[in-house]
Amino acid sequence: MGIKMLLNAEAHYGVPVKIYTNDIDSESIDQLKKMSQLQFIHSHIAAMPDVHLGKGATVGSVIPTKNAIIPAAVGVDIGCGMNALRLSLKASQLPDNLSTLRNAIERKVPIGFGVHRQIKAKASTLSPLEKRLKVITDKHPALTRMLRNFDSTWAKQLGTLGGGNHFIELCLDENDDVWIMLHSGSRGLGNVIGTYFIERAKKEAQSRFGHVPDKDLSYFAEGSNSFDDYVEAVEWAQEYAYENRREMMRLILEAVRPLLPSFQMTKEAINCHHNYVQKEHHFGEDVFVTRKGAIRAGLDEYGIIPGSMGAKSFIVKGKGNPESFCSCSHGAGRKMSRSKAKRIFNQQDLIQQTQGIECRKDKGVVDEIPSAYKNIDEVMENQSDLIEVVHTLKQVLCIKG
């Protein structure tokens, strides 16, 4: 069973915090306490077993709010999430040397700060996004000045990976079936939208609910123009992130088809956010649920929980547990910062911990070393009452930005 630990907030109106692990640091606890003191939190806050310190709000937290949204809790990688697809191929049908596949994918999908030289996405995808975006930028023209070559950049970034912990992987499941899995979000424009509205929330007076215990918890109250504009913008960014993953998957399939035996895509395809906000019904109320580093795990709803680049990942099915607001973890969760990982580990450590995986093994990705993350098996054990495992995946190829 998942572990539930109740924190008593210092303020008299604090709500409980339900944490599904004992592996949590004091800074994260302090951050969760501050969030629990906000008067518009509904019922309680849930913290998933991959919980760790975040900017603005704790990563791995599920925050239900009434009549308010905290932009910093959603964060700047709006709509970041996962996409996974099972192919009709077996492990034995893969080439012995996977470097050719990796190179082909990297030629098709720009990584890091890279963008496509030309717009790759179809007009049927771009046109609806462009139309809705113009409505947003007409109200907030400052957004167009925050991204270089605004009009072309957001379109050329559709179908690109980004950097940090974003990845593309080729994996094998327990039946030796081949999967393609990827992790990415709303790229530069999502970051711009998040940054712009976070700063706007900090500047605006918060008169409806009073003082906030941390400026990063500044919010928009429902009914205000800023609230409506943020909801419109964040929904756009979430849709963009979803389409970005779809476009990347299309390009990956295009890259690997000439190099593999003929294959089909199975019906097992999943595309889910883990940094987002949406309206849901919980404990008798319609509330805005912000999942910062958590995925929705409604009854029989499929999701993806990746481990680190040297560990297992999981395709899961939700149990619809109301105490977690029908949520579960979004991954293993970091146990140390990127700067600390770079101080403790070196390139040789990375090579050793990623043996047997076709991936970058240079010092530029040492901060993504498996030892910088929590043990994925413990994370999964602590949320056994939130999800059931459908497939266990092990990567054989990993592309990092």
Geometric angle at alpha carbon 213, from 211 and 215, rounded to 5°? 85
CB atoms under 10 Å from CB of 201, counted, come to: 23
Comparing CA positions, the residue from 234, 297, 204, 202 lying closest to residue 75 is 234
Q: Is 282 among the annotated ligand-binding positions?
A: no
Q: Does 321 appear as a known binding residue?
A: no
C-alpha to C-alpha distance for 346 and 324, rounded to whole angstroms: 38
* 325 known ligand binder: no
Ligand-binding annotation for 332, yes or no, is yes
Q: Is 28 annotated as a binding residue?
A: no
Q: Binding residue per annotation — 330?
A: yes
Residue 9 dihedral angles phi and psi, to the nearest 5°: -70, 150
Beta-sheet pairing, 17-19 with 265-273: unpaired
- The answer to the question of whether 12 is labelled as a binding residue is no
Q: Which residues contact 307 (CB under 8 A, 6 or more apart)?
A: 313, 314, 331, 332, 370, 373, 376
Question: Would you say 77 is a known binding-site residue?
Answer: yes
Is 54 annotated as a binding-site member? no
Maximum Cα interatomic distance, the chain, rounded to a whole number of Å: 64
169 is in an annotated binding site: yes
48 is in an annotated binding site: no
Would you say 43 is a known binding-site residue? no
Report the distance separating Cα 194 and Cα 286, nearest Å: 24
**Residue 167 assigned ligand-binding role:** yes
298 belongs to an annotated ligand binding site: no
Q: Which of 52, 116, 140, 330 is catalytic?
A: 330
308 known ligand binder: yes
127 is in an annotated binding site: no
Residues 6+ apart with CB under 8 A from 350: 361, 363, 365, 366, 369
140 a known binding residue?
no
Note whether 59 and 293 are within 8 A (CB). Answer: yes
CA distance 224 to 324: 29
Angstrom distance (rounded) from CA 184 to CA 114: 14
Interhelix angle 225-256/123-139, nearest 10 degrees: 160
Q: Is 330 a catalytic residue?
A: yes
CA 373, 376, 377, 379: dihedral to nearest 10 degrees? 100
Known binding residues for Mn(2+) are: 77, 166, 183, 274
| Active-site annotation, residues | 330
Known binding residues for GMP are: 165-169, 274-275, 306-309, 313, 330-333, 400
Known binding residues are: 77, 165-169, 183, 274-275, 306-309, 313, 330-333, 400
